[in-house]
Amino acid sequence: MSRLVIGLGFRDAAAAVSIGEVIAAARAQAGEAADAIAVLDDKAAHPALLVAALAAALPIRRVTAADLRRADADIATRSATIQRHRGVGSVCEAAALAAAGPGARLIVPRLVSADRTATAAAAFNEDET
């Protein structure tokens, strides 16, 4: 069984519409049905995320900072600001890879919402069981 996970990164001020925008864009570019949304555990209860996840009908998977750091070597995008704040080059890419599991590959690199408050990426794992 395969797994497609959409990883998210967003500012505390992000609105549900911005998070939903990047979820939809990642789904469209991936061309596969998504199985879950992945976010850093300290953002998993964010009200705008909960609204966007419900609207997208996707469960939320929590990933830890350690999970992100393990996935960092396989990301495509590097932001010096995010590196300073979160210890990885891209939260959304690392979250997607971490939640998709060992052997996952990034199929949609970081996408940014129009208001620049939310990002999404997608990772696919063909070998996930």
Predicted confidence (pLDDT) per residue in 16-32, tens digit: 999 999 999 999 999 87
CB atoms within 10 A of CB 1: 8
Q: What is the rounded CA–CA span in Å between residue 29 and residue 41?
A: 25
Average pLDDT, the chain: 90
Tell me the CATH number at 21.
3.30.420.180
Q: In terms of residue numbers, what domain contains 95?
A: 3-125
**For residue 1, is pLDDT > 70?**
no
Number of structural domains in the chain: 1
| 3-state SS, residue 116 | coil
Q: Phi and psi (nearest 5°) for 14? A: -65, 140
CB atoms within 10 A of CB 40: 23
